[in-house]
Copies of this chain bind each other. A is one copy, B any other.
């Protein structure tokens, strides 16, 4: 396939075929893509009102995690009562649009419980690694197995997905995406459904994907992302100490978020976040605003991002904050 949207769309088709169910559970501000099917499970695009009738949302696994488990029980009961059943739980394993959830014993326990409830209802678990995958969250390599595992977001949360979708960084900017799944699921789908895709595995994209994979390993970019990400997070925290408009530095590796707030009230300040994005663009640095209020800065630089790049970013963000007054 070419895009993460196509990968998630196919993952849902496989899950619905395999389970015979239709219901899908997503986190409450999830983003998974833009096809008709996937926009209908992406509340971050248009709110809960934009979701299909066979979709239910749960709070992400933050705090002590009990909220997510309670929501999942309700969601499953509602989907079953409506006759949809449960086809799948799908999660972005960085929980980026839900505000970047860091792994903890509590969140892992919550996800394990939700996973068990979904499986008991006959549903599958889909890990959306389109954004977090390929080492973006940073790898701490102790032995090659651990390094491999930390290329992905799902092991951090002890998730055991049946299907995993990959894309975006896979060929460093060229369009290619994929679906990794349990063999029995793909076999059953292949026997029942005709699926082909003209540009799946198109040679230029595949050559770029192979080269990207080699560079990722040879230059130890996942480990580099962990190191530079820690430095950048430290610099951001220091900057937030000097500017009362910045709060809540969080994230992992080279995938970080920081809230922009009103200095008086502490409330999310969407206009200020948008102004900072514009100010940085004038300074030739491209980032975006994200989150439920569109008031968090979302930082997702290329993995070869260096300490010098991080310093330049902080200098320019400092300047843009100064321009805001």
Contact = CB atoms under 8 A, between A and B. Distances in A.
Question: How many monomers of this chain does the complex have?
Answer: 2
A175 B196 contact: no
Of the listed residues A13, A35, A45, the one surrounded by the most CB atoms of chain B closer than 10 A to its CB is A35
Contact of A2 (B36, B39, B199, B203): B199
A205 B176 CA distance: 12
Interface stretch (A3-11, A60-68, A107-115, A158-166): A3-11
A37 B36 contact: yes
Given A39-B13, A202-B173, A205-B175, A197 B5 contact: yes
Given A46-B193, A204-B174, A204-B204, A198 B3 contact: yes
B34 A37 contact: no
Interface string A200-212: 0011110000000
Interface in A4-39: 4-6, 9-10, 12-13, 34-37, 39
Contact of A202 (B4, B37, B174): B174
Nearest to A131: B198
CB-CB nearest 7 A-B residue pairs: A2-B2, A175-B199, A36-B37, A175-B175, A35-B35, A2-B175, A9-B35
16 contacts: A2-B175, A3-B3, A3-B197, A4-B198, A9-B35, A9-B36, A36-B37, A39-B193, A46-B194, A167-B198, A173-B204, A174-B205, A175-B175, A175-B198, A175-B202, A175-B205
